[in-house]
Amino acid sequence: MKKIYYRDGYKYQLAAIYRVGIAIRPAQPIDHEYIHLDTDGTLTIRPGYAWDGPSGPTVDTKNFMRGSLVHDALYQLIGDGLLPLSARAQADNELRRICLEDGMSAIRAWWVYQGVNWFGNTAASSPEKAPIEAP
């Protein structure tokens, strides 16, 4: 019998390249397998990137998807040690900004921001998920 190795916790996979300008500007470009962050704040997320969408007690709505993608990518860079933990506050601000741009109500965006601000430390400091073996 042959085994498979996989990672759990992902619900979505990016189907086309996505590029956005953000406030985080590293001293050197960061190039990760699926994520690139340039020194001018251009964040590029490549097709195939997988993320879990909005986290916590929430509903995955269209006005939350783009923000969750960018936020998860930034937290992954932080968790992998490619951005400092101090970039977490900026990542949380980007989430709120993008959600508001996409039509989320101000009160819901505030609650989303509070949620990641209060509970996001574990997610930002987690290393890449270890593969699971099956069977």
Res 91: pLDDT? 97
pLDDT, average across residues 84-105: 97
User: Is residue 82 within 8 Å of residue 32, measured between CB atoms?
Assistant: yes
Q: Which domain holds residue 35?
A: 15-128
| CA atoms 119, 120, 121, 126: torsion sign | positive
Give the count of domains, the chain: 1
pLDDT, average across residues 46-70: 92
Res 120: pLDDT? 75
Beta bridge partners of 50: 13
pLDDT, average across residues 23-29: 97
pLDDT, average across residues 52-74: 92
121 within domain boundaries: yes
3 within domain boundaries: no
122 within domain boundaries: yes
